[in-house]
Chain A
Amino acid sequence: EVQLVESGGDLVQPGGSLRLSCAASGFTFNNYWMSWVRQAPGKGLEWLAIINPDGSATDFVDSVRGRFTISRDNAKNSLFLQMNSLRVEDTAVYYCARDWPGCGRCSADYWGQGTLVTVSS
C-alpha cells in the first residue's frame, strides 16, 4: 500500500525557516518524480515544487522560488521541503504527492495527509 506521511509542520515567526519531511512507503520511491502542494486556509490548491527521481532536476512556482528548496534521500525513501524567509502568506497545509509517472501516465495519484505550517508573530 502506497503511503506518504508528512511531518515538520509548526508555528514559526515571519522570516524564520522550517524543514518539512515526507516519508514514502509501498512503492519504488526512486522511480517517481515527487511534488509539494499547499493549501492556505479556505483557499485552493497551489502546486509548489517538483523533483525528479535522482534529485538532479527541480522546479518551483514563482512565489517560492529562491526561498524554498526541494530535495530527496532515495536511500531513506524521503522527500524534503526546506522553507526559508517564511512569510505570513506561507501559512497553509503542505502536502507531498507522488508525481510522474503515477498510475503510468498521471501526475499526483497519491497524497499524504498534510502538515500544517503557521507563520505568525
Chain B
Amino acid sequence: DTEVTQTPKHLVMGMTNKKSLKCEQHMGHRAMYWYKQKAKKPPELMFVYSYEKLSINESVPSRFSPECPNSSLLNLHLHALQPEDSALYLCASSQGERSVGELFFGEGSRLTVL
C-alpha cells in the first residue's frame, strides 16, 4: 500500500470543466511533486513544492494550477484542458533535498479529457 494517497483514481472531464486532483502524505516529507505520465512513456515532471513553496514549474500550461495548502497536501487544479492532456497524473513526495531521487509515488489519478 502506498503512503501517498491520491484522489480521485479516475476522472473524466470535458474541455470546459473545472476539476481538482488531490494528494496527501503523512510521512513528514517536505518536497512534493506532480508528474504526468502518458502510456509507454516515463513520468514527466510538472511541478515541485519544497517546504510548501513552488520551487519548480517545468513550463506547464496555465490550465494546470498547483496549490500546496500545507506540508501534507498538494492539489492540482484543472481548467479548460485539452484531449491531449489525458494521462496518468502522479503525485510524489520525498524527504527533501538530502534524498532527491528517492520518491514515494501515489497510485495516480487517471484523467480522460473529452
Query: A and B: real partners?
Result: no
Which residues of A does B touch, CB under 8 Å? none
